[in-house]
Amino acid sequence: MKVTGKTENSAGLPSTPQKRLFGLRGKMFVLFFFIPICLILIASLMYMRQLSTLSSHLAERSSATVTKVTEEVIAQRAKEVASQCKVYLITHPELKKAFFDFDLRFKRIAVQKIGVTGYTAVYETAESDGVWRLWAHINPNVVGIDTSSLKESLGDTFPGFWKIYTGVKGGRESRGYYKWRDADGIARDKFMVCVPIEGTPYVLAATAYLEEFTETAKSLQEGAAQFALRTRNIVIGILGGTLILIGFTVAFYGYRLTKRIKSLTGVADRISVGELEVSVTGIRARDEIGDLAVAIKRMQESIRLAIKRMKERG
């Protein structure tokens, strides 16, 4: 009898295998390939994200620490030079400010290098005329000038400089960052500490490009970024290799398993329609599939014997 394109046996069961939307091979793919790969992928992404965050955090903290330490070093240097200047001025009361830059012994004390391009300088707080003047500087051309005239050369970077420079009013220390425009026209960040020379109207300024001291931190940041990148590439490589290995294993084992099951299904189906002479071949596995093949052989032999006895009785 025909039922929607399928044949049935006398028991009313389909004599041919039904089509499945999701067979054993598909289930194996999902359970042993798709789900594990998704879990591994999620874990790898979380690991790489955490590694990148940790790398960035360490680099930022190290940079911040180096910056803070450098600021304190410059501030301490400014205080030391200010103290040295104070001692020299007290012991040399005859030294006039107009000769600060010409007295070689005082200039060696007042103008000292900090790092590669940094230096210290001495300037005077505003007099009654409101003018702030430099009296000892690494550049002799600016000695004695009205410091506010630097506004013309510094342009829009001048306010930041001037705020720190004049922040010593009331005898307090002043420090901070400002942009200094070099001869090449590029404005770069500088750090300056201004310390009043006690008992005098003068101030010791120490200024330097902080980047000269933070190169190590930058190298650390670059090294951390490269390490994170290398680790990410390794993780991606391992993930790719795992994907290929698992995919090959699942595909190979799934193919062999389903092939044996299909072979046994075909044998059982042929036996069900009376082909008792069909042989179970190609199944040598010592597992559940092998047990199933043995069971089908026993069933086949039992049916054959039962039919033989029925014929003998008839």
Q: What tens digit of pLDDT does each residue of 132-164 get?
A: 999 999 999 999 999 998 888 788 889 999 999
Let me know if residue 280 belongs to a domain. no
Looking up residue 74, the CATH number of its domain turns out to be: 3.30.450.20
One-letter-per-residue 3-state SS of the chain: CEECCEEECCCCCECCCCCCCCCHHHHHHHHHHHHHHHHHHHHHHHHHHHHHHHHHHHHHHHHHHHHHHHHHHHHHHHHHHHHHHHHHHHHCCCCCHHHCCCCHHHHHHHCCEECCCEEEEEEECCCCCCCCEEEECCCHHHCCCEHHHHHHHHHHHHHHHHHHHCCCCCCCCEEEEEEEECCCCCEEEEEEEEEECCCCCEEEEEEECHHHCCHHHHHHHHHHHHHHHHHHHHHHHHHHHHHHHHHHHHHHHHHHHHHHHHHHHHHHHHHHCCCCCCCCCCCCCCCHHHHHHHHHHHHHHHHHHHHHHHHHHC
Let me know if residue 110 belongs to a domain. yes
Let me know if residue 264 belongs to a domain. no
Let me know if residue 92 belongs to a domain. yes
- Domain with 151, as residue range(s), is 57-213
Give the model's confidence band at 195: pLDDT under 50 very low, under 70 low, under 90 confident, else very high. Answer: very high
pTM > 0.75: no
Per the structure, the count of domains in the chain is 1
Let me know if residue 259 belongs to a domain. no
Let me know if residue 244 belongs to a domain. no
User: Does residue 70 have a pLDDT over 80?
Assistant: yes
User: Does residue 112 have a pLDDT over 70?
Assistant: yes
Let me know if residue 287 belongs to a domain. no
Q: What is the mean pLDDT of residues 216-221?
A: 65
Let me know if residue 198 belongs to a domain. yes
